[in-house]
Structure 1
Amino acid sequence: MNKLQLLLVFFSTLIMTVGCQKETIKPNILWIYVEDLSPEFGCYGNNIVNTPNVDELAINGVKYTNVHMPAAVCSAVRSGIITGTMPTTLGLHNHHSSRDLASAIFLPDTIKTIPELFKDAGYFTYNWGKDDYNFWYDRRNLYEGDFRSIGMYGMSGNKIDWNAREEGQPFFGQIQLYGNKHVYNRKFKEKRIRAIDPDMMEVPPYYPDSAFIRQDLANHLECIELTDREVGEIVEALRQDGLLENTYIFFISDHGMRLWRHKQFLYDSGTNVPFIIAYYGEDGKLQKGTVNNDLISGLDIGTTTLGLANIEIPSYTEGIDFLAADYQPREFIISVRDRCDFTIDRIRSVRTKEFRYIRNFYPDRPYMQPNYRDEWDISKRMHQLASEDKLGENPAKFWGNERPSEELYDVEKDPDMINNLAYSEEYLGELNRMRTTLDKWIDATDDKGQYPESVDGLRFMYNRWKEQCVNPEYDQFK
């Protein structure tokens, strides 16, 4: 073989080797996880806020408009996403469960969380911020780095980022942002980017048009702008570290904003969240700058994340990989509400493209039965207006002493979900279809919410909240 032939063989081998190495480079994946924010960013159509950084994510990825979480409170949502299963399937549906060993819920040995699956695949995994999972676990099996207990919120990872990994190791990371919870910070007015005029707010018909409501809605938008700045800082850090081109960025809120009928409730305002996947490189699986209107469950976030890393998705998961070649859109999404702190409730919902069905298992208990928000000044004002019969017709429906056992809404004609069609003859066929769908799901998944919570779990809540525990389930401890 002459020198020319040897050189040709050498360079051919080199090209093939480099090509194979490029193909086997694993992508990094980062979840930017935000608390209590509704989809009110500029890219979602809000003309008041300035959100250039989140809008840039949408330009460099896919914006999803019809994503609904499996619950509307943080711990149940996070427990569902991190396991890829409905919280009711594994008994993780009651808010802030497993906060002590006596009442602990353990995952079956056959269940591995999403970060554990990434660890098995050689990824560096971390979560900077709260976990808030409703099961008992050894955090070291899920995440690297130091952590601490933050009381009712469980464990929280200390400051850590992708730079703690070994050189060349791919990472699956999470960064938790405060979102709407920024308003609880005493220095919020100093931290916010600007004050937004409450008079610019469009008040939903389920709230009275009062100054204190307008102010809270304005604060929510101020939190959105503050969150946008934080997102920009994260993206810039990835860019500076040379990681932006090979990192899928998931931007997620756990549920809707903090107010009533949003957080903890199963209307679109509670379950529908902003969700964007961005990828700044040119070799990704996304069609950049596109909008996806498919029904997507929050459960699908974990399974799709696994799919992007070419990690096998376990058969026990209930999520769908919506970026897979054989993806088929969902026909409906189930969302659940159960005990939230000391407030015992059970609500189930079915959401299709056209309708939202809600079943209230405790119609004798008011929507606004005693709950943790009662101490807020804004809640006291609402209770005062309700006692004086000054709420107005639509808000008063939510602040009465009873509620209907069933609700049905045409989400296209009635996006605010004001007109309950469950008792209309015209919609009886749709109502029956929804009833059947929910009944079949409850049976098929053995919805654990149909069974009483453990005595130890209730006792823990009673010992924590004492006289605020007014539901009859707590009488055994009095």
Structure 2
Amino acid sequence: MKTIFKIAIILFTGCSLLANPIKNNKKKDSLKKPNILWIYVEDLNPILSCYGEKINPTPNLDKLAENGVLFNKAFAAAPVCSASRSANITGTMPTTFGIHNHHSSRTVEDAIFLPDGVKTIPEVFKENGYYTFSHGKDDYNFIYNRKKLYNDELGIDFYYTLTGTGDWLSPLSKNQPFFGQIQLEGGKLGLVQVYPKTKEKITPIDRNLVPLPPYYPNVPTLHEDICRQYDAARATDVEVKEILDKLKDKGLLNNTYVFFFSDHGYDGYRHKQFLYDGGLHIPLIVGYFGDDSQIKKQSKRTDLVSGIDIGTTSLALAEIPIPSYMEGKNIFAPNFKRDHIVATRDRCDFTIDRIRAIRTDKFKYIKNYMPNRSYTQPTYRDKRIEYVDTKKMFEAGKLNEIQAKYWLPTKPEEELFDLENDPFEINNLASNPKYRKQLEQHRTLLANWSKKYGDKGEEPQNIYSLKFMYERWGERCVNEEYDVIKNMKVKNKPQVSIKN
């Protein structure tokens, strides 16, 4: 991993595809450009009181929603950190530019560069006069010069675990608009005690109130892990209050669009790294404490939104034209509509798989391209106590049919779920002749998407990425793709030329 600190200074070049900011709105011209702030959290499903979770009060996020728009059907482009974050920061699906494999571009050998002319969201803001910053982890699957993206003084290193609780406020000024990203640990907070910058202690939720989804058995350690997610959400709520208070104290709150969202869902099994709603469904709230006709306050929307829409919407709110290569849309545009969203899962660290999903308003279609590879391939969670305990119950034959599906040696090649009648995605309808029409429709949507945008996941694994993973994870790399690494010495790739 040390090599990443060296290659982070590599630059990718290219000319901007942007025109100057729109100037034809006299009302907007008379006002200062709005600030855009992303409060970007990890591993969190929308288990917030503003989303109807009455057992888990989150008053500060409720207040943000009351001063903005809450999106009930927002979904990540990918169910793992780096692929999702790479998609959001480029406004494209991670498969478009080959930034879909988790923890890519971690060495010079497997470096991935964005195409010439392709700019990230913060770069576009910066080129349009915005001060830009990111406090917390980046986790992008491509090589970039951090100084080209951000003005802040955190340096140019790859931030993997740093949380956004430092001093991001001091450099901000009323004389220059800002685009900022504050990364919070969100669902990774675990058991909640005392949090940075606050003496407030979060009382653990009453464990008797927290439900288990039907695909989870009643394993005490598993239930406790879910309860900690609820606690973490309330701790995050306190951190959000601190951020909003700082903006208010500096006189910036009323001119700042505040986006609150997660990179993907809960990190438990069948959620993170998989394309069920548990891995993809994220909270998304866009708040604005000033007055703005684009923000209908206290509104809740049920139309489909993709994570790749967050960056493009941010540009649109600042009246910056959305570059043509970006696939995201402006969710506040009068004609905004998504008939479906796409989600992708590819290599996650050392575990190789390829899964695609199409989610329409009423149905979810999942295509498993490697059905002979089980859900339980080796992962980072293998030694976690709740995972070990649940696996023991499966091996002892103590799980029911629904709970046991995850632990079977193979996956179905195709899955189709009626989301209105089966929100937990349990009853696979792919082989049901009554749903043949819906199956064909969703197959076509996936094929058309792949044809239009290209799916780099169809390409073979990069041998140097495999080499890096094998050197890091060793015998946990069990997929056949690693055989070439195990059986022969892979020569080091020639060094990439670095030009400033």
TM-score normalised per structure 1? 0.92
Asked if 1:440 is matched to 2:448, the reply is yes
2:419 counterpart residue number: 411
Q: CA deviation digits over 1:394-449, x for unaligned, max 9?
A: 11001111110000000000000000000101001110111111112112222000
Q: Which has the larger radius of gyration?
A: 1
1:159 Cα offset (Å): 3.2
Distance in 1 between the 2:164 and 2:110 partners?
23
Q: CA deviation digits over 1:90-128, x for unaligned, max 9?
A: 000000110111111001111000000000110000000
The 3 A distance-change label for structure 1 pair 397 and 192 is: farther
In structure 1, stretches of 5+ residues that fail to align are 1-18
1:172 counterpart residue number: 179
1:276 counterpart residue number: 285
What amino acid is the match of 1:336? T
Asked if 1:49 is matched to 2:56, the reply is yes
What amino acid is the match of 2:323? P
Asked if 1:468 is matched to 2:487, the reply is no
The 3 A distance-change label for structure 1 pair 216 and 149 is: farther
The 3 A distance-change label for structure 1 pair 106 and 150 is: closer
Of the three residues 449, 455, 458, the one matched with 2:463 is: 455
Q: CA deviation digits over 1:298-339, x for unaligned, max 9?
A: 1111100000000010011101111123x2311010000000
SS state of the match for residue 30, structure 2?
A: helix
1:400 counterpart residue number: 408
2:229 counterpart residue number: 220
Of the three residues 143, 149, 173, the one matched with 1:142 is: 149
The 3 A distance-change label for structure 1 pair 115 and 151 is: closer
Distance in 2 between the 1:191 and 1:455 partners?
49
What amino acid is the match of 2:384? W
What amino acid is the match of 1:350? I
If each structure's helix is expressed as a fraction of its own residues, which one has the higher value?
1
What amino acid is the match of 1:411? L
Of the three residues 108, 129, 136, the one matched with 1:129 is: 136
SS state of the match for residue 33, structure 2?
A: coil
Percent of aligned pairs sharing the same letter: 49
Q: Check whether the contact 2:147–2:156 (CA below 8 A) recurs between aligned residues.
A: no
1:200 Cα offset (Å): 1.3
Distance in 1 between the 2:347 and 2:194 partners?
32
1:11 counterpart residue number: none
SS state of the match for residue 374, structure 1?
A: coil
1:362 Cα offset (Å): 0.8
Distance in 2 between the 1:21 and 1:206 partners?
50
1:291 Cα offset (Å): 0.5
What amino acid is the match of 1:79? S
Asked if 1:107 is matched to 2:110, the reply is no
1:379 Cα offset (Å): 1.1
SS state of the match for residue 153, structure 1?
A: coil
Of the three residues 52, 72, 77, the one matched with 1:70 is: 77
Distance in 1 between the 2:365 and 2:406 partners?
16
Q: How does 1:22-61 map to 2 (within 5 A)?
A: 23-61=30-68
Distance in 2 between the 1:32 and 1:187 partners?
20
Distance in 1 between the 2:447 and 2:393 partners?
38
Q: CA deviation digits over 1:280-310, x for unaligned, max 9?
A: 0123520000011111111111100000000
Q: Check whether the contact 2:340–2:359 (CA below 8 A) recurs between aligned residues.
A: yes
Q: Check whether the contact 1:149–1:155 (CA below 8 A) recurs between aligned residues.
A: no
Q: Check whether the contact 2:346–2:355 (CA below 8 A) recurs between aligned residues.
A: yes
SS state of the match for residue 196, structure 1?
A: coil
Q: CA RMSD in A?
A: 2.0
Asked if 1:243 is matched to 2:232, the reply is no
Deviates further, 158-167 or 463-472: 158-167
1:192 Cα offset (Å): 5.6
1:197 Cα offset (Å): 2.3
Asked if 1:80 is matched to 2:93, the reply is no
Q: CA deviation digits over 1:124-166, x for unaligned, max 9?
A: 0000000000000000000122336887939988934243145
The 3 A distance-change label for structure 1 pair 140 and 96 is: same
Q: CA deviation digits over 1:177-204, x for unaligned, max 9?
A: 001111289988x986011122211110
Q: How does 1:328-347 map to 2 (within 5 A)?
A: 328-347=336-355
The 3 A distance-change label for structure 1 pair 258 and 317 is: same
What amino acid is the match of 1:335? A
1:50 Cα offset (Å): 1.6
Q: Check whether the contact 1:96–1:153 (CA below 8 A) recurs between aligned residues.
A: no
Asked if 1:424 is matched to 2:424, the reply is no
What amino acid is the match of 1:413? N
What amino acid is the match of 2:228? N
The 3 A distance-change label for structure 1 pair 384 and 151 is: farther
The 3 A distance-change label for structure 1 pair 241 and 152 is: closer
1:390 Cα offset (Å): 1.2
The 3 A distance-change label for structure 1 pair 20 and 346 is: closer
Q: Check whether the contact 2:191–2:228 (CA below 8 A) recurs between aligned residues.
A: no
2:242 counterpart residue number: 233
What amino acid is the match of 1:363? P
Q: Check whether the contact 1:99–1:152 (CA below 8 A) recurs between aligned residues.
A: no
Deviates further, 414-423 or 260-269: 260-269
